[in-house]
Structure 1
Amino acid sequence: MDAREDLPKISVETEQDWRRLQRNISTAFLDRLGLELESQSVSQDRESFMPHINQFLDTLFAITRPNLRINGRTTEEPYDDDEEMEPFDEALDRHIWSLSDQRLKWDREIGSRRRTRPTEVEALVQGVYTQHHGVDMDIDANQESCLPGLDSHQLDPAMEETFVNAVTMSAQLSQSVSMQYERANRFTAVSTEVKALKP
């Protein structure tokens, strides 16, 4: 709960509403007093109780006044122009304060992330770099162990000849595949035409 709401206020829209509330409380109090006096058969003493009742009600309303909010303003604040003031929306005020609290929470979280995330990302990148560098070192070591004593520009003549033959055969294969594909397309077209020429 917010610190502003530790002491809840009595909220009314206008000063007239507060006066009507005072009248209703006074009327209810006097009616209850009348019932009590009638039940004890001393209703003729009502007038002697009235100054004490009025003093009690005045004290009650005076005590209540600091805990009163009229149109969103406490009664301790001075009222300048009641007519020019817009009505206070309590729900909107609570919503605005909750959004403000939420914004502060997100600002704190973003600030915390700005302090911690760069070091986390740096450690992650460093780990990935170290891992890749280790893999590259392993590949280099494996290549050196497979071809010991050979220069990278020297290859076995038999291996070179095999490689050239493989490249040549792949070129011929790609040519023959394209030719076979064209022949299959022509065959499909011719068979469609022949089927269309029924005697």
Structure 2
Amino acid sequence: MDNREDLARISIDTLQEWTLIKSNYLNAAVVRLDALLKAKDINSAESRDRCLIRINEYVDSVFEMAKPNIRVNGQNFEEISEDDDEIEPFDEALDRHIWSLSDQRLKWDRMMARTRVERPREVEAMLQDLFDRQQDAATQDIEVAVDDADNFDDLTFARLPDIEQAFLKTSSIAEELNQATIQFERSKQVKTATKEIKALKP
């Protein structure tokens, strides 16, 4: 919200412009008075003078009431002297731009303050959600592993006799193969020795 009290004020450049506006308003009122006097066929100068006094009083009161709504050269009317003719020129567009920047800065300050309050909460909520998800995933993995282990144990114990029998058969076959290899080597050695002995006979 803009705190400037003069947002609704009408801006004019100089006091001379204010005086000219007042003079034109008074002249228009006098022209209207003369038209009314002529229409009513009143030619008395005394009557006209009395009306002029009332008109001047009325115009003065109207413009006095208008002063709180007027800015002259960027200043509130009630803060300047109407006798001061040397008022430094004021850039109304620049003044509005400055106030616009000020308003924008206030908006950014409010947004940053709100962010400093809300962002940590958002980060905390995000981290908490991530932690909860990881905990849920870890719990599910443990449950699956336990179920698999239970299933594996049940299957193993159920087939244990078959597994033992297969192991014994495999071991027996391996032993037979080993013995066969040894016997084959011995047989080769015997044949070789026999040939050598025969070769030694005259």
TM (norm. structure 1) is: 0.57
Q: 1:50 to 1:118 in 2, by over 3 A?
A: closer
* Structure 1, 140-149 or 37-46: larger mean CA deviation: 140-149
Q: Deviations over 1:108-131 (max 9, x none)?
A: 333233223323322321221232
Partner Cα distance (1:23, 1:126) in 2: 74
SS of the aligned residue for 2:79 comes to coil
Q: Is the 8 A contact 2:15 2:72 kept in 1?
A: yes
Q: 1:16 to 1:97 in 2, by over 3 A?
A: same
Q: 1:65 to 1:133 in 2, by over 3 A?
A: closer
The CA deviation at 1:51 is: 3.2
Query: Which of 77, 88, 106 pairs up with 1:85?
Result: 88
Size of the aligned set, in residue pairs, is 149
> 1:29 maps to which residue?
29
Q: Deviations over 1:30-72 (max 9, x none)?
A: 1000000000000333244333333333343344344432111
Q: 1:39 to 1:128 in 2, by over 3 A?
A: same
Q: Is the 8 A contact 1:34 1:43 kept in 2?
A: no
Q: Is the 8 A contact 1:26 1:57 kept in 2?
A: yes
Say if 2:106 is the partner of 1:104: yes
> 1:56 maps to which residue?
58
Q: Deviations over 1:154-192 (max 9, x none)?
A: xxxxxxxxxxxxxxxxxxxxxxxxxxxxxxxxxxxxxxx
Q: Is the 8 A contact 2:74 2:91 kept in 1?
A: yes
Partner Cα distance (1:120, 1:4) in 2: 36
Identity %: 39
Partner Cα distance (2:132, 2:117) in 1: 24
SS of the aligned residue for 2:44 comes to helix
Q: 1:133 to 1:101 in 2, by over 3 A?
A: same
Q: Which runs of 5+ in 1 are unaligned?
A: 150-199
Q: How does 1:20-169 map to 2 (within 5 A)?
A: 20-45=20-45, 46-78=48-80, 83=86, 85-89=88-92, 91-143=93-145, 145-146=147-148
The CA deviation at 1:133 is: 3.3
Q: 1:8 to 1:116 in 2, by over 3 A?
A: closer
The root-mean-square deviation of aligned C-alpha atoms, in Å, is 3.4
Q: 1:44 to 1:70 in 2, by over 3 A?
A: same
Q: Is the 8 A contact 2:6 2:76 kept in 1?
A: no
Runs of 4+ in 1 over 4 A off after TM superposition: 79-84, 143-149
More helix by share: 2
- Bigger radius of gyration among the two: 2
SS of the aligned residue for 1:69 comes to strand
Aligned residue identity for 2:26: S
Q: Is the 8 A contact 1:68 1:74 kept in 2?
A: yes
TM (norm. structure 2) is: 0.57
Q: Which runs of 5+ in 2 are unaligned?
A: 154-202
